[in-house]
Structures are given as C-alpha cells and as structure tokens.
A and B are shown apart, each in its own frame.
Chain A
Amino acid sequence: MNTRLAKEARSLFPVWVLTLLLPAAPILIWGKEVIGLAAGLFCLGSAMLGATVFGAELNYRSMDLLLSQPVSRRQIWYEKMLVLEVALFSAFALFMLGLRWYYPELSANPFCTLRPFIPLCAFAATPCLTLVSRNFIGSVVFSLALPMVILLCGEAWLVNVIAPSSGLDEYAFEEAFHPRLLVYYLLGALGVYAGVTYLLGCLRFNTFEAADRPAGETSLSPVPGGAMDCLLRRIWLGPSGSYANLIRKEIRLQLPSLLTALLFSVLWAIALIIKAMRPVDVAQSLAAGGVGGPLLSDPPALLLQLSLLRTELAAALGTGSFCLPGRGSLLRFHDRFVCGSHLTRRLFPRPASQATTAAAGNQACAESVTIVTKSAHADSTDETAGYTTDGTTQARRRLLPRSTTEEWREGRAEGGRSSVYLLLGAL
C-alpha cells in the first residue's frame, strides 16, 4: 500500500472505530428504543471522521511538514479525500448492515432516501469547515449545525410560504405534502451544499496558508488591529496593557469556541423565552420537550414552537383564528420526548411494531400526546370544534382528562429540570 495512503488510513482509523462504537453503545445499553440517538451519534462520528483529515494535521501542527513536501496540493487533497471517502462510506455501510441485522423489521419512509447524505455531507463539507475554522471542534459543530440550518430553512419555507399558499389547513398540508416536499427540498439543498463545500474545500486547501497564528500572535509586537481590538482598547487598559493583551490573545485563541457558545446561548435564550411565554398546556409541553430535550439538534422544533407562539399570541389578542398544532408537530414531540431528534428518528424510524409504543418512563406523556393527536385528527368531534372555534386555553383544558393534564405537568416539570441541567452544562 502506498505509504502516504497508509499514513492517512492510520490517522483516521481510531476515529473510524469510534464512529462505529458511538452508535453501537447506546443500542447495546438501552436497546432498540434509542435508535434515533444512535443515528445522531453516527452523524457525530461521521463529522469527527471528516474533521480528522485536516484537524489532525492542525492539532499535531504538522501542516508545515506536509505542505513543504514536493507534491502538489491537489494530489495531497485527493489522497486525503480518497481515504476519507473509503472510511466514511465503509463506516456507513457497516452501520446500516448492523441496523439491518439488529432491526430486520426496520421501518421505511421518504426520509430514508436521505441517509446517504450523512457520509456525503461529512465527506464534502467537514474538511472545508476544518480548513476554514482551523479548529477540530469548531468544524465538527458547524458540520452538524449547517445541515440543520438548511433543514430549518426548508421547514420555514414549507410552513410559512408553501402551506399558507396551498389553501389547506396545517394538518391536511402536513399529511398531504409536507414530508415529501421536505425530502425533495433536502435532496436538492444538501446536494448543492455538499458540492459547493467540496469545491470550496479544494480551493481553500490550494491556497491554504500554514500560518501558526497563536505563535505568531505571541511573537509579534502587540500592534492592535481589527474590530475586536478596537473594542478592547475602548473598554480595557489601553492597547498594550497587560490585561488587554491577555484578553485579546485568549479571545483570538478561543474565537471558534466563543462563537459556538454564543450560538448555543442564543438558542437557549430563545427556548427559555418561549417556554416562559407559552400559556397553553399543549404548547408548554412541547416547549418543555423542546427545551429539555435535544433542542440544539432539532432546529425544526424551535421553528415550530415559534410558529405556534405566533399563532397563539394572535389568538390571545383576538386578531386571528386559533388552530391546533399539526399532527406532524405532535408526532415530533412524541418522537423527541421518547428519544432522538426529529430528523434522526425520521431517517432511522423504529420498527413498525414499536412505533406506537413509548419508553416506559415516558409512556404517560406519549399517551397524552396521542390523545391530543387523535382529537385534532377527528374533525367531526365536539372536541375539535371546541378547539377551532373557541380558541381559548380553558377550552383546551376542558377537553383533557384531569389525569392527563397532571401527567403533562409532570412531563413539563421534568423538561424544566433537564433544561436547567443542560443550561448549566452549556454554560
């Protein structure tokens, strides 16, 4: 085997093993209910694998060594990409084979056609993001976040543009068009995303500069520059003060981490505001699930909550008609509350035999949501009429058995506690 390819393979091998172990561990520990979590962990492992290709060179500071060798950068790029491609798709194939072996009855839906995009996006985008961010963790975070942003945009487009113009109500639209349209959108958008980021990565590597920025910062004289420096100069002890230098250096060193933390903090703040403002039980339960659960890995849930909030505020102000959240929204809550994010559960749905059952700990909550789903679904029932015509919180509460409401409250409290824990963790 070519020495250089062997070196690349050896470099990726530990992360490749980790990519396979990450999803296997929760399934082996908790069983089949956590397939969504396992799929999410496989996505994380794939992103780590993609980030290792150049991230390892940056971490070892061996980029100087690599780029000073008499081989064209294009050849280095192709060699690295070849090994990454083999690693990612072999890991994906093994993961799918493992799932098929463990879940012979694995369900299928339109979202399953998107599965190959997991290794494809990791292959195309993560090296580019690593070269841009020059940071392993930053590239992993952004390579997971960017497809979610694309998904978020797709949901926003469907919910806010396409659905209102279709003339159908939310539920009918969800059932008739939503999954299919979203899959078509994602096929196109993720394909374009993968192609563009691959080309950008290739171009970026061709002009990549092996600048040792942290070392450069410490060895160069402290000449202030840039917006951050101007800000520090205004608020601190002068441009060359020791504290200002220290803070400036740390901010520059940790900039990718700080930006990531800022992004997460904003998401958390939005989620907590939504949670505080929601007046309705169903909505609060959704918020509790969203905040306490995998909000960060499920941006569509956030969009959904914003959409619900807007609708409910409009109803409260008496300026609009009140409507229930769509069935798909509630199912998202159901799936998310059990385990795994919205997208991963759609990509890797549980076996049909288990699709309607929830984990023991969340059984009551899941049932309560199912009740609401059914009531929303039955257009001819009095309950539904109550929802659509009355539009008040009291009316909604009247529809539910007392025990169910209490269980929701418990679920809310659980969500609230977990949100506090996760917020502390994020901080």
Chain B
Amino acid sequence: MKAESPVIEIQNLVRKFGRTDAVNGLSLSVRAGRCYGFFGRNGAGKTTTIKCLLNLLQPTAGSVRVFGTDPARNEVAVKSRVAYVPDYVAFYPWMTVRETLEYLASFREHWNGQTEKELLGQFRLDPLKKVGHLSKGQKTQLALIGAICPEPELLLLDEPTSGLDPIVRREFIQTVIGAYQEAHPGQRTIFVSTHLIAEFEGLIDEFTIIEEGKEALTLESDVARQRYQRIRARFSQSPPALDFPETSWARRDGRELELVVNGNSAQILSRIKSYSPETVSMEALTLEEIFMASFK
C-alpha cells in the first residue's frame, strides 16, 4: 500500500436488493489513523456499505478498495488487517466466553492475550460462562474484545454500542477505542457506524451522513462545528423577518429567534446585530445536532 493511499476508498458504490437500491452511488475516502463516523437513518445503507468493505456483499456497481486492494480479490489479505463488529452480534450459544475467544484467535496470526485479560476484567465477563447465557450487551462486549485483541489496523464497527448500558458504553468508547487508537497514532483507523453520535463526539475526526444510499454530507468534525452554528437572539419586540439562504432551521418564539446556520455564520451574526437585539449568542452544534439539521 502506498503511504498516501486511503485505508478505505469507495467510489460510486451501488448495491441493489431486487429493485431496492440499498446503496446508490456512494463515494467516500478514509485516511489512515482517523476515526471516521458513518451516520444515517435506519435503512440508509450503512450496514450494506460495511458488508461490501468485507466482501460479505458484492457491489452491484462501483468500486471498493480497502488498503488499496479489492476485498473480493484479496479477501484474506484485507481481512487479516481488519476486525469487524457486526450490528447483530451472533456467536455459537454452546461455546463459553473462553472458547469463543479461542475460536476467534484461531483465525489470527497475532492475538494480544494481555488485552484480552484486561478487557474481560473490565467488562466483568466470566470466561467460563456460556455465550447462550449472555445478555445482548455482554455479547457485544465479547465481540468488541474479539475485535480489539488481534490489534487490527482497521476496526469496522457497525452500531457497536447498541445494547450496552451507559456506563459500559462510555467506558468502551473512551477507554477501549480511545486507547486502541492512541497505542499507534496515525496507523489505526476506526470506521464506525452509529446512531449514538453524541457518545462518539470527541472521537470522530471526520464523518459522512448517508441518506437513501447516497452521501448527504461529508465533513471533518472541526470544519462541521465551525460551519454549523446556532445563533440565539432576543429582541425587545418581535424578531424581524430575516431570510438567510444559509439557514438550515429557524424558530421564532415570542421575542426570541433561534437559527441554525450552515456557513457564513459571522456574516449572519453581524446582520442580526444590526437589528439591535437585547442579547445574542452563537455556539457550535454537536455532531448529533448537525446530523439532525442535515435532515431538516
């Protein structure tokens, strides 16, 4: 792989199920060492895209490259550098936690036993417990351990925190994923699809919002926060009728005006100030609010 080539490169990906376009012309690129968010509503095509990256599904059209190679042609080479946590975690119910991890380790050349031990303790998972007796959240924890212990270069997470309780969720995101990436900064890449955008707020470097199989928005998180701003102004009388093309969303409530703007926030702010509001403030939107704003 060339040094400058992206870890994931998707160009005009199309995947149909019958007459349904699950993914329809999606393009994105993920650089090494990034934590890349992949957001979208239910049925937007997130899982289908991730499955195409792993050759679990074959694209109807377009191309997919992982580490610069086609996962369909170099399946083993690609997957040996990738770990995947599916949206629906399924193991063999008759296996114990220990047996499941041994089974997963049997596929890998490298397996960090120390990390396994630490994570088992951190998640309070009993190695002798049958997988069939684990809760959904515990199965997800087990899948995460199985994904992190081989220390892959690329971690593909499809709704990894669904089913986890808030404490474990926070612990997982901040401790596990953060520590995973910080161990080899610039080399380990995370591609995460999630609805719980707020939980990943501090980790996401760049994101793509997908809607009906198409890319709706791709931005770096910092750029997005600069671009998407919320302006609140309070006037002595009713707010003036303002028309800004950059406004994603506007709300009038009595003497208050609230705007969510997409770019040119400084210009809009100065224009609002020209109407002499009693108070005016501007703040950056969170990624979740940006996600919400992009659908309004």
Cβ contacts under 8 Å, A223 to chain B: 19-20
A2 to B51, CA, bound (A): 28
Asked if A70 contacts B80 (CB within 8 A), the reply is yes
Per-residue A-contact encoding for B268-296, CB less than 8 Å = 1, 0 else: 00000000000000000000000000000
Per-residue A-contact encoding for B30-58, CB less than 8 Å = 1, 0 else: 00000000000011000000010011111
Tell yes or no: A403 within 8 A of B by CB.
Answer: no
Tell yes or no: B104 within 8 A of A by CB.
Answer: yes
Is the contact region of chain B dominated by helix, strand, or loop, or is it mixed? loop
Q: How far is the CB of B16 from chain A (nearest CB, A)?
A: 10
Per-residue B-contact encoding for A341-380, CB less than 8 Å = 1, 0 else: 0000000000000000000000000000000000000000
Tell yes or no: A165 within 8 A of B by CB.
Answer: no
Cβ contacts under 8 Å, B107 to chain A: 4, 69-71
Cβ contacts under 8 Å, B75 to chain A: 72-73
Q: How far is the CB of A15 from chain B (nearest CB, A)?
A: 13
Tell yes or no: A257 within 8 A of B by CB.
Answer: no
Cβ contacts under 8 Å, A73 to chain B: 75
Asked if B106 contacts A2 (CB within 8 A), the reply is yes
Cβ contacts under 8 Å, B22 to chain A: 216, 220
Inter-chain contact total with CB atoms closer than 8 Å = 90
A404 to B156, CA, bound (A): 76
Q: How far is the CB of A208 from chain B (nearest CB, A)?
A: 9
Per-residue A-contact encoding for B52-79, CB less than 8 Å = 1, 0 else: 0011111000000000000000011001
Question: Which of A62, A70, A210 contacts B56, CB < 8 Å?
Answer: A210
Cβ contacts under 8 Å, B123 to chain A: none
Tell yes or no: A221 within 8 A of B by CB.
Answer: yes
Tell yes or no: A226 within 8 A of B by CB.
Answer: yes
Cβ contacts under 8 Å, A71 to chain B: 76, 79, 107
Asked if B103 contacts A3 (CB within 8 A), the reply is yes
Q: How far is the CB of A222 from chain B (nearest CB, A)?
A: 9
Q: How far is the CB of B127 from chain A (nearest CB, A)?
A: 15
Tell yes or no: A209 within 8 A of B by CB.
Answer: yes
A247 to B98, CA, bound (A): 43
Known: A68-B56, A68-B82. 13 other contacts (CB 8 A): A10-B94, A69-B79, A69-B107, A70-B76, A70-B79, A71-B76, A73-B75, A211-B51, A211-B56, A215-B88, A216-B22, A220-B43, A226-B18
